[in-house]
Structure 1
Amino acid sequence: MKILFIGGTGNISLSSSQQLVRHGHDLWICNRNTPLAGAHHIACDINNEFDAQQKLQNHHWDVVVNWVGFTAEHALRDIRLFSGHCKQYVFISSASCYQNPGPTLFITEERKLENPHWQYSRDKIAAEEALFFAYQESGFPITIVRPSHTYSTVIPLTIGAWTNYNTIARMKKGLPIVVQGDGTSLWTLTHARDFANGFIGLLGNEAAIGEAVHITSDEVLDWNTIYQQTAAALGTTANIIHLASDTICKITPEETGSLLGDKAVSTLFDNSKIKGLVPEFKAVIPYAEGIKETLAWFEADASRQVIDAKEEKLIERFVKEANR
């Protein structure tokens, strides 16, 4: 297949890109300046619509995937760019769009889309709505994919992590680290290679046209266990201090979306739909093993081990608040 990835070299997408190259697909990467070995590269800022049109207009694609679309405006732009130029358009949305908590413990794709706490999620919902309207009105061949908390080259902890190394450095030193709530809410973490195994099966899959589907692991862990398994991968134990999510968000309102709109609530998924569309899909990488790879990636290059001074002060403030 001739496949265009808009983005394609990030934390979630890179594993999918690499697998497609290994499988011999004709993969094209469209981004500003990050090529991928084995794929064609189109140097382009997709948000410059005129430039994108000039560079893409003579191509016809089996599949277009936008990994970096976030708003209805992005979706409408892509409809203009790719109508009549692709057999399938895949939009990467987010499982944070689901209403949560909801009426059932396990989330299916039929769960209402609603997130009063996070603008990021509301923007993704608006993008989905624009795309479904185009599908219904003109047959624009969409597939919506909703990843949840997916990791590979990021540290999937809540505070002082992701691309920062603060919490890992604190674990190594035995310093207190902060976990939201009492750490017993349940969560789902998915390694990007597992995500890719399901995702690639959707590409060129006619049964996926007009559908929305999430792709996650079936492994369920509470947050205390997630932090302790991370520490165990470092050969230590985590010195956990708990702090209410509401308190964290009062101190740092910018965390409200990510916490109250996502990680503060138990989140489990029913993956029946992706398994029906891609019968060979199975997530096989437990977090205890996957996080070892992630930490090894950070350890391989000192420049990746970023200690953010502002974040460190914030963690110390959280620790003091928890000890009051």
Structure 2
Amino acid sequence: MKVLFIGGTGNISSASSRLAVEKGMELFLLNRGNSKTTINGATPIIGDITKPETLTELKKHEWDVVVNWIAFTPQDIERDLALFKGKTKQYIFISSASCYQTPLSYPVITESTPVSNNLWDYSHNKILCEQRLQKAYTAEGFPMTIVRPSLTYDTVIPVAIGGFDKYNIVDRIKKGKEIIVHGDGTSLWTVTHADDFAKGFIGLLGLTQAIGHPFHITSDEVLSWNMIYKILADAVGKEAKVVHIASDFICKVAPSFTGTLLADKAESVLFDNTKIKTFVPGFKATIPFAEGIKRTLKWLEENPAKQHIDAETEADIEAVLKAYRALG
């Protein structure tokens, strides 16, 4: 199977790239050549998907599957439709589970849960991308599949405040500084290791039955945010000094947290993975967060350049803590 990944060396996609090669797929990676991540067995194509003049080599090929890991706007989809219509048997768009109805009318999410999120431009644009692809599928038979990851991690810290591609949360725990947990910490969430995500995702590649369908792919492990932060702190080897603060208050003081909180992680979410397990029999997530986060922290220790402490995020955390203390 001849597969093109646009991207393919990021936090989520690297694991899928490695597994695709392991499964014997003929994998090509289109990127600008700036990533230091190497996928042994994959063939690089150097080019910038946003600059058609750099895609001479790409245009020579036809594909069984094209996956765009880095499409974020309807303009990106229009470009891909022009590039790959008639050139691929399947096009997979990496969307986001944050597209699901916000706030939820029912906490258990299936692929039939409505997509509607106007609180975060990122999510709203992903929804517009999905709608354009659905139109292309319905009207023109464009062979698309939509995949919606939730909070998926490998080389990032999957927490709501001070994490992801920032090292602030770990630095604060190490230094004994207070950390913020939104609400009372009892709302439920699911974090998924990229290696587990890859097991379900690779099963969709070349799967004719998946054409026209959306899928989310997550772990079945459900944790409270209190447990997520405690497991992280235990992996760091320190006790976390937790301050619980309402999400509305956090976002009022620091609007930069609105997307990740009010538009995504402020309420309990439970994912029903029946559909991916039906289409990809045998899919099962097997990496608990307590194990996966140790892998992530080890990787960060081995790659100190990735231990980015963001000054603006740190200032926002301190501003929220100061405003909360002022309440008395």
**TM-score range normalised by the length of the shorter chain:** over 0.9
Name the residue aligned to 2:17: 17
Aligned residues: 323
Q: Distance in 2 between matches of 1:254 and 1:144?
A: 28
Q: Distance in 2 between matches of 1:73 and 1:27?
A: 26
Can you list the C-alpha shifts for 1:230-276, whole angstroms capped at 9, x where unaligned? Answer: 00112222110012111221222232122111011111110000000
Q: What displacement does 1:18 show?
A: 0.7
Q: How does 1:50-129 map onto structure 2 within 5 Å?
A: 50-52=53-55, 54-129=56-131
- Contact kept in structure 2, 1:201 and 1:278, CA below 8 Å: yes
Q: What displacement does 1:310 show?
A: 2.8
Please give the TM-score of this superposition, normalised by the length of structure 1: 0.96
**RMSD of aligned residue pairs (Cα, Å):** 1.3
Please give the TM-score of this superposition, normalised by the length of structure 2: 0.95
Say if 2:50 is the partner of 1:47.
Answer: yes
Q: What displacement does 1:37 show?
A: 2.5
1:49 maps to amino acid: P
- Contact kept in structure 1, 2:110 and 2:271, CA below 8 Å: yes
Question: Sequence identity, in percent?
Answer: 55
2:17 maps to amino acid: S
Q: Which runs of 5+ in 2 are unaligned?
A: none
2:45 maps to amino acid: I
Name the residue aligned to 1:247: 249
Can you list the C-alpha shifts for 1:83-112, whole angstroms capped at 9, x where unaligned? Answer: 111111000000000003333221001111
Name the residue aligned to 2:288: 286
1:181 aligned to 155, 180, 183, which one? 183
Q: What displacement does 1:167 show?
A: 1.3
Q: Which runs of 5+ in 1 are unaligned?
A: none
- Contact kept in structure 2, 1:101 and 1:266, CA below 8 Å: no
Q: Distance in 1 between matches of 2:255 and 2:61?
A: 44
3-state DSSP class of the match of 2:83? Answer: helix
Q: Distance in 1 between matches of 2:187 and 2:325?
A: 21
Q: Distance in 1 between matches of 2:167 and 2:9?
A: 21
Name the residue aligned to 2:32: 32
Can you list the C-alpha shifts for 1:168-206, whole angstroms capped at 9, x where unaligned? Answer: 111112221111111111111000000000000000111
3-state DSSP class of the match of 1:257? Answer: coil
